[in-house]
Amino acid sequence: QVQLVDTGGGLVQAGGSLRLSCAASGRTFNAYIMGWFRQAPGKEREFVANINRSGTTTYYADSVKGRFTISRDNAKKTVYLQMNSLKSEDTAVYYCAAKGGLLSTLSYEYEYWGQGTQVTVSS
């Protein structure tokens, strides 16, 4: 009952910044936990960040803590991932995802997924 479209990826130099957006359709967006995951070639999909329904609680993977910020605008039905101080190891396809219930870092607990957007960081 929700569709997600994630955008904003691109090629950026190490140390630079990108802002990813995930636009949701459906009238129940505010009922969902939102998360960002990423998958690099040859690696498993990994958790990046998530945010609760009201936007008051966030959680980050240690690898991105202090550099990335997740936020949401329920009026716009959009979740964002601001990525600063990018490193080459941040290169991956980034996916936004949605789930009901409580916060989770487990990809298999998320019900809805965007198509992914490529982030490439050159060193």
Question: What confidence tens digit (pLDDT) does each residue in 15-73 have?
Answer: 999 999 999 998 788 899 999 999 999 999 999 999 999 999 999 999 999 999 999 99
Report pLDDT for 20.
98
* Residue 9, burial from CB neighbour count under 10 angstroms (0-12, 13-18, 19+): middle
The pLDDT, as a whole number, for residue 76 is 94
Q: What is the pLDDT of residues 72-114, one digit of tens each?
A: 999 999 999 999 999 999 999 999 999 999 999 999 999 999 9
Does position 14 have pLDDT exceeding 90, yes or no?
Answer: yes
SS3 119: strand
Cα–Cα distances (Å) from 89 to 15, 64, 79, 81, 100, in that order, read: 12, 10, 23, 17, 30
Which residues pair with residue 71 across a beta bridge?
A: 80
User: What are the structure tokens assigned to 72, written together?
Assistant: 């949401």
